[in-house]
């Protein structure tokens, strides 16, 4: 049962107790019609309580049997009045209170409060930032974990939403039961906690979740809004002003400001967040931020450390590229291209990508390239650099058509990390996750081409 339901039952029991005092008073005055009306209301209230309990705890729950005995006590008093065998007001009230006390004790001791926690992923590829928290909640028998994938929009250059909206609920892992967002009433259910991994609300230039799911609105419907970043940052010195300035835009977001709790990847990152936020909001807010920011670790790293190579399912199309004709396995290079690198380097980065693909194609007999571009690259280019989009798309289409390497646009980034033997590509949050595997990492430089 939900906390608010249990509280409502106790409040209804309190109302019954008040009615008992009124019954005592009216019986002592001889106002038996008023007493009968009060007894009728007591019985209706008890039946309503029983219906609520059965709906939550099931038929035959022990508290319902106590409520039935309470109703019997109510009926006996009404029957005695009808037979003119009228007890005193004190005796009637004492009888009702004795039976109600058993009900109250059962509500307190037999009904277990279940916490309802809602998880709101928007991009399936970012589900790993919530997954380990969801698994823990799902394993708790006193917790009801609800996963509600939410719609999001690409944005036009003028900031308007492109239609139709994206919905990736069908791309989440098969073991994750989902509830359609249209089927969940946030106001009626009022979950105890809501977890989000999108902190930007309306201030993202590339995409936006549906405005209902902005953190500024969600906080109205829960006791605790929790934000976990969908990314992992490189660890920094939390006292270095230049380092703090470099991550400021990740920290000063609406999700951080509106959440009741923010969970970050490490204690050092927690200190960095606090230092940045104190500078933004004032020293008098330091204690507030110290309570709000928690450095207990990123679920993205939990996921990588939990997944083993032999547990990963590799598509048949990948197998055909990874294996040589004799069945032996090639080395797999995870090639990652980021949004920021393209925005920073424009045409130079396109030339760099073409150069990298050329080199790996020439060595494809021994090395399998697994190219996994950031999932928002195309949407970003369309919105912010439309002049680059066509050229970028031509590179992607040609690579996919030639089929000598893997193009990974699936939601499962962790699979690419686990099956690959080394990382090559842009500096991004994936680098900090990849470090945890202990495998080699090399960062590409847009200024350097192999031909040079």
CATH class of 3-110: mainly alpha
Q: Tell me, what's the pLDDT at 452?
A: 56
185-215 confidence digits (pLDDT tens): 999 999 999 999 999 999 998 899 999 999 9
CATH code of domain 309-443: 3.40.50.720
> Could you give the CA distance from residue 348 to residue 326 in angstroms, rounded to a whole number?
39
388-410 confidence digits (pLDDT tens): 999 999 999 999 999 999 999 99
Which alpha helices (H) appear in 111-235, and where do they start and end? 131-139, 186-189, 215-218
DSSP 446: T
Buried b (16+ CB within 10 A) or exposed e, 21-60: ebbbebbeeeeeeebeebbeebbebbeebbebbeeebeee
Residues of the chain with pLDDT under 50: none
- Let me know how many helices (H) and strands (E) the chain has, helices first: 19, 13
Q: Tell me, what's the pLDDT at 234?
A: 86
Element (H, E) at 226: strand 224-227
Query: In CATH terms, are 3-110 and 115-302 the same topology?
Result: no
Residue 53 in tokens: 């309990």
Domain boundaries, the chain: 3-110, 115-302, 309-443
161-171 confidence digits (pLDDT tens): 999 999 999 99
Q: Tell me, what's the pLDDT at 412?
A: 87
pTM higher than 0.85: no
Percentage of residues in the chain with pLDDT exceeding 70? 99
CATH class of 115-302: alpha beta
């Amino acid at each position: 049962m939900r906390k608010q339901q249990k509280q409502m039952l106790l409040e209804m029991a309190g109302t019954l107790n008040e009615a008992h005092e009124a019954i005592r008073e009216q019986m002592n005055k001889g106002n038996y019609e008023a007493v009968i009306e009060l007894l009728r209301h007591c019985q209706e209230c008890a039946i309503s309580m029983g219906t609520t309990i059965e709906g939550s705890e099931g038929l035959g729950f022990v508290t319902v049997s106590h409520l039935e005995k309470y109703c019997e006590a109510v009926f006996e008093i009404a029957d005695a009045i009808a037979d003119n065998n009228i007890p005193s007001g004190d005796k009637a009230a004492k009888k009702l209170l004795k039976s109600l006390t058993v009900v109250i004790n059962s509500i307190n001791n037999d009904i277990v409060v279940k916490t309802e926690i809602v998880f709101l992923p928007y991009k399936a590829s970012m589900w790993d930032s919530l997954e380990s928290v969801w698994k823990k909640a799902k394993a708790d028998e006193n917790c009801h974990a609800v996963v509600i994938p939410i719609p999001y929009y690409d944005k036009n250059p003028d900031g308007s939403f492109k239609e139709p909206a994206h919905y990736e609920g069908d791309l989440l892992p098969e073991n994750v039961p989902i509830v359609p967002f249209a089927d969940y009433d946030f106001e009626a259910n009022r979950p105890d906690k809501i977890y989000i991994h999108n902190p930007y609300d309306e201030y993202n230039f590339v995409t936006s979740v549906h405005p209902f799911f902005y953190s500024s609105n969600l906080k109205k419907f829960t006791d605790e809004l929790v934000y976990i970043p969908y990314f992992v940052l490189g660890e920094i010195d939390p006292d270095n002003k230049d380092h703090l300035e470099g991550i400021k835009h990740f920290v000063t977001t609406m999700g951080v400001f509106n959440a009741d709790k923010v969970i970050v990847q490490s204690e050092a990152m927690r200190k960095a967040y606090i230092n940045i936020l104190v500078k933004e909001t004032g020293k008098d807010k330091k204690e507030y931020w110290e309570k709000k920011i928690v450095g207990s670790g990123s679920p993205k790293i939990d996921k990588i450390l939990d997944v083993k190579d032999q547990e990963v399912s590799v598509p048949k199309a990948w197998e055909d590229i990874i294996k040589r004709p004799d069945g032996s396995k090639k080395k797999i290079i995870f090639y990652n291209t980021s949004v920021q690198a393209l925005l920073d380097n424009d045409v130079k980065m396109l030339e760099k990508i073409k150069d990298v693909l050329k080199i790996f194609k020439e060595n494809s007999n021994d090395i399998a390239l697994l190219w996994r571009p950031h999932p928002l690259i195309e949407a970003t280019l369309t919105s912010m650099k439309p002049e680059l989009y066509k050229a970028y798309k031509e590179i992607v289409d040609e690579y996919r058509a030639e089929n000598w390497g893997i193009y990974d646009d699936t939601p499962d980034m962790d699979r690419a990390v686990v099956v690959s033997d080394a990382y090559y590509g842009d500096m991004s949050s994936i680098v900090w996750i990849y470090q945890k595997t202990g495998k080699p990492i090399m960062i590409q430089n847009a200024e350097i081409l192999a031909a040079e």
